[in-house]
Every structure is written in structure tokens, then in C-alpha cells.
Amino acid sequence: MSEPLLELKDIKMYFPIKEKVFKKPVNHVKAVNGVSLTVRKGETLGIVGESGCGKSTLARTIVGLLEPTSGDILFEGESILGYNKKQMHELRRDIQMVYQDPYTSLNPRMKAGEIIAAPLKAFKMTSNLNERVYELLDLVGLKREDADKLPHQFSGGQRQRIGIARALALNPKLLILDEPVSALDVSVQAQVINLLEDLQEELGLTYVFIAHDLSVIKHIADKVAVMYLGKVMELSDSDTLYHHSKHPYTNALLSAIPLPDPEKERQRQRIMLKGELPSPANPPSGCIFHTRCPIAQAFCKQHIPVLEEKDGNNPNHQVACFYPQETEAIVNSQ
């Protein structure tokens, strides 16, 4: 097993809710509430969850766009939270991000070539600038002529390729991908997923891949963390998660994804979750999932489950639940 590249230690990110007049914080939105994760070199960690589970906030704390309320972030074994401006600037060489919306994350007045060159200029790596830009265009499957086009002349998938080229310009070690394919058309999603897989192999990249779509994550991730209301509910290697998930939330998520196969789809047992996501300002007591959990007991309302190993055979499989159980045949693999 390779060494850890990124370690998150008990990250908490609270946003204050302020009172109207004196702006005194009266409560906090607990967007990320104690998340510990390790990403090893060359591996892809998938983070899934529904909207509001804190997955994007977590991404923003990793790249340093937000400073966590508490906890620690280690990159190559070194804590990056105490970094000053200059150190942070240097760190951005190594950690880059690809955003969800290829329509708003590119400056409409800059040519594709300029967009890709921007990070190089920021780090004064301007020797052979054009050559490097062409190389990057090539890498993501665009043509040299495309360097002179403006973003509106590209389709969504091509724009996302520009975003990826920009992120790769500085030869980063870690790429944070925040829903990189969810704004794309279905016929183009597969192209971008394949591109990301090729790039990872070619350049030895490490990915943190955030998505709400479990089927996309299944294709790309080695390890998956399922988040709910700011906490990790289940963490496991991808294979185990998709075939032997034990947390009732993961089971419900998996069963809710419609399969593009009418016969299978109409025979499936679905686990319907009751109600809606509680507010992260006032999360439920005990296990945060108990209000929607189909198997919740009275015990779950008072006690908080920790994320721990529940399966003696697989130390990589951790579940935060008092009554973990596999549900049969949620996903029948052929």
C-alpha cells in the first residue's frame, strides 16, 4: 500500500448563524462535523452524499478556500493549516481543483489558451508557454487551434476538458474534482470519465472525486466515503461498498438509483426513506440518521455511533451504525 498523500483529521466546519442586530452567533450550521479520511498516493477517493451533506464544503477546506473550525489537514505528512500566504501559494501547485459547472468556471472573455496558461503565469513558468499549452490541450483531447477559441464556442464536455487542462497545468499531485461530470450530457459523461482515468494512469495523479451519483463513483473510485449531514456514515473499498454495504443509509441510496434496465428495475425492492434531510443547524440527537432510518431503535436516539470496523474480515470497511446489516441483492451484478 502506498503512503498517505492527504490526511483529514476530525475536520469540523461550522458556519455561524448570526442574530439580526448585533451579529452575535446564535447557532451554527454544522456543514462538516468531524470527518477523518486518508487518501493514498495514486488512489481515488470517492465522496458521495445528497445535497447538503457537506461534501463540497469538505472539498473547499482541502484546497484551502475555507479554513476549518477545528481539525487538521496533512498533506504529505505536513499540517497545512498553519501555512502562511507564501506557503499556501506554493501548495496550490500540488493541489488543484476541477469545478462542477463548466459554464461558469471559465472566464467568458478569455481564450481557452489563456485560461490554461493562467496558472503557469501565476507561477512564472512562462518559458515555452505556448508549447506547454499545446501539450496540455493535447493531453485532454483538444486541438491546437482550440487555444484561440472562446469558451462559448465549446460544448459542455469540451469546456470541462479545458477546466481539467487548467488544473493539470502545474503538474499537481492531488486533484479535487467537485461533481466534474454532473453538468454534462449523458453521452459526454463517459468521455470525461475515461479521460480522467487515463490521466490518472499516465500522470500518477491522486483524486478526490465528489459526486452525488453512485454509479459514476463506482466506475472511478477505489475507496468510497458516504456522507450524511456532515458525517461519514460508511467508508470502504469500492467493491465492498457496492456489494456488501452495511449502513442503512448506503443501502437506501443504492436502492434508490434507477437502473437503466426495465426488467431488473421493476423487480427491485426499494428502500424508501421517510421524510427529508434534517437541518444541519439542529441535527438530530444520537445517530443523525435515526429520523429517516428504516431500522432505527430507541437506542439510536440517544447514542452516537462511531465510524468503526464492523466486519472482522475487512479492516477497510467502516460503518457508523449500531445495527449494521447487509440487505440482499440491492445490486445484482451480472
66 alpha carbon, distance to own chain's centre? 15
**Smallest distance, Å, CB 82 to another protein?**
37
Helix (H) or strand (E) holding 265: helix 262-267
CB under 8 A: which stretch of 95-103, 120-128, 144-152, 275-283 binds another protein? 275-283
Binding to another protein (CB under 8 A) within 287-326 occurs at none
Q: Which of 186, 202, 298, 312 binds another protein (CB under 8 A)?
A: 186
CB under 8 A: which stretch of 15-23, 80-88, 154-162, 298-306 binds another protein? 154-162
Should residue 218 be labelled a site residue for another protein when binding is judged by CB under 8 A?
Answer: yes
Helix (H) or strand (E) holding 159: helix 156-168
Should residue 193 be labelled a site residue for another protein when binding is judged by CB under 8 A?
Answer: yes
Q: Which of 9, 111, 149, 219 binds another protein (CB under 8 A)?
A: 219
CA distance 266 to 243: 20
CA distance 154 to 140: 14
CA distance 100 to 60: 13
Should residue 138 be labelled a site residue for another protein when binding is judged by CB under 8 A?
Answer: no
Should residue 150 be labelled a site residue for another protein when binding is judged by CB under 8 A?
Answer: no
Per-residue interface string for the shown chain with another protein, residues 19-58, x marking contact by CB under 8 A: -------------------------------xx-------
Count the Cβ atoms, other than its own, within 10 Å of residue 83: 16
CB 54 within 8 A of CB 31: yes
Give just the sign of the alpha carbon dihedral 29, 60, 81, 24.
Answer: negative
Should residue 102 be labelled a site residue for another protein when binding is judged by CB under 8 A?
Answer: no
Q: Which of 54, 113, 119, 157 binds another protein (CB under 8 A)?
A: 157
CB under 8 A: which stretch of 7-15, 75-83, 96-104, 181-189 binds another protein? 181-189
Torsion of CA 313, 315, 318, 321, to 10 degrees: 50
Q: Which of 272, 298, 313, 328 binds another protein (CB under 8 A)?
A: 272
Should residue 259 be labelled a site residue for another protein when binding is judged by CB under 8 A?
Answer: yes
Residue with Cβ nearer another protein (61 or 189): 189
Should residue 155 be labelled a site residue for another protein when binding is judged by CB under 8 A?
Answer: yes
Q: Which of 39, 165, 273, 293 binds another protein (CB under 8 A)?
A: 273
* Exposed e or buried b per residue across 220-231, where buried means at least 16 C-beta atoms within 10 angstroms of its C-beta: bbbbbbbbbbbb
**Smallest distance, Å, CB 217 to another protein?**
9
Per-residue interface string for the shown chain with another protein, residues 52-91, x marking contact by CB under 8 A: ----------------------------------------
Should residue 189 be labelled a site residue for another protein when binding is judged by CB under 8 A?
Answer: yes
Q: Which of 14, 75, 242, 289 binds another protein (CB under 8 A)?
A: 242
The beta strands (E) that lie in the chain are given as 4-18, 25-40, 44-48, 70-75, 78-79, 95-98, 174-178, 206-211, 223-228, 231-237, 308-309, 318-319
Residue with Cβ nearer another protein (125 or 190): 190
How far, CA to CA in Å, does 24 sit from each of 16, 32, 66, 161? 9, 21, 21, 44
Give the total residue count for the chain.
334
* DSSP string over 12-79: EEEEEEEPTTT--EEEEEEEEEEEEEEEETT-EEEEE--TTSSHHHHHHHHTTSS--SEEEEEETTEE
Residue with Cβ nearer another protein (120 or 205): 205
Q: Which residues bind another protein (CB under 8 A)?
A: 50-51, 155-158, 185-191, 193-194, 197, 212-216, 218-219, 238-239, 242, 252-266, 270, 272-273, 275-277, 331-334
